[in-house]
Amino acid sequence: MIDQFRKYTPLNILFLSAVGVVLCLGVFLHLPDNLMPVFFEPAISNFTGKLSPENISPKANVLITLVLTIIQALLINNIVNRFNLVGRSSFLPALMYLTLASLMLPFLVLSPILICNFLTIWMLDKLLSIYRRADIKPLMFDLGMIVALGSLVYFPFIVMLLLLWCSLLIFRPFNWREWVAVPVGFTTVYFLLGVIYLWFDRMDAFYEIWLPLTYPFPTSVHIDIYDYLVLLPLIAIMVLFAITLRQNLFKSVVHIRKSFQLLFCMFVLAVISFYLNANWSINHFLLAVPPIAIYMTYYFSYASKRWFYESIFALLLLTIIYFQFF
């Protein structure tokens, strides 16, 4: 399968869709009777109510999720190829993204995190372009607004504000105007939101939006043992990626090296932001899928022993499918 997706051919879009269908079969057989996730944070739902897909059947819920995930996979595939992050064009980024986005059953239903991943991919596209731009202040302002909009859908997304400053540290010499443009863009969205709350005389509810920032950082996280087991092949692939990156990193151009540092910051921030959600669930870690998918793409692009890399990827797929059914 890896060799097939190493080819940059539109035929792989069909194969990608087929893989997606196979990876969501398990959730079709274990559909809950009621799938109605809340789509917005209190910042919006205070006015709209708890919007949820009440008229969407569980099967339609999964199908919509599959379609959205495939679209995201193709978008990230385009970014990786356009910025030449792994040195060769292929459909491996799309395959890795789709695989990771199907890693656990909670990933396979509609959630605000899934919607936020569109914003994550959009941000990644913009961030990778700042290295060679002369003036990025308008871009950083826009990115600040994107983070603010994402936090209205899923509040922990607010942590990505730090990612914007990390990108400036990694890609740019210090320019205070570029740093200030980020919070100005972010504040613009919340200022307008605050005006709406003030207009309706609901400022107390506006202040409550920020309560998650006061949550204590948890010292332990409960994850089902089966979730640990499904991560074992993924951990093995990440170890192989680290070895491959160590061998090739300094042969790469500066932009590629800096891009991988940015992806690491994105991964760390996505993981540590889970404590900002009072109703914590494992699908939060969908935010970490884009950087990990690119890391996995890098390994499978350079792996040379076919029997080994095909076997370890097949093991990952079989593990995902097994724990979906059992």
Per-residue pLDDT 10s for the chain (326 aa) are 888 998 888 899 999 999 998 888 877 776 665 555 556 666 666 665 555 555 677 778 888 889 999 999 999 999 999 998 888 889 999 999 999 998 888 888 888 899 999 999 999 999 998 887 888 999 999 999 999 999 888 888 999 999 999 999 999 888 889 999 999 999 999 999 888 888 888 888 778 778 777 766 655 555 666 667 788 889 999 999 998 888 877 666 777 888 999 999 999 999 888 877 766 678 888 999 999 999 999 999 888 888 898 999 999 999 888 877 76
pLDDT, tens digit, 9 for 90 and up, residues 103-149: 888 888 888 899 999 999 999 999 998 887 888 999 999 999 999 99
The domain ranges of the chain are 2-325
- Do residues 64 and 110 touch, judged by C-beta distance below 8 A? yes
The span from the CA of 40 to the CA of 205, in Å, is: 15
> Rounded to two decimals, what is the model's pTM?
0.91
Strands (E), 99-212: none
- Exposed/middle/buried for residue 111 (C-beta within 10 Å: 0-12, 13-18, 19+): buried
User: What per-residue string of b and e applies to 6-35 under the rule 16 or more CB within 10 Å gives b?
Assistant: beeeeebeebbeebbeebbebbeeeeeeeb
Q: What is the DSSP code (8-state) at residue 286?
A: G
pLDDT digits (tens, 9 = 90+) for 59-95: 788 888 899 999 999 999 999 999 988 888 899 999 9
Query: What letter would DSSP give residue 173?
Result: -
3-state SS, residue 209: coil
Q: What is the amino acid identity at position 34? A: N
Identify which of 245, 262, 322, 278 has the alpha carbon closest to the alpha carbon of residue 83: 262
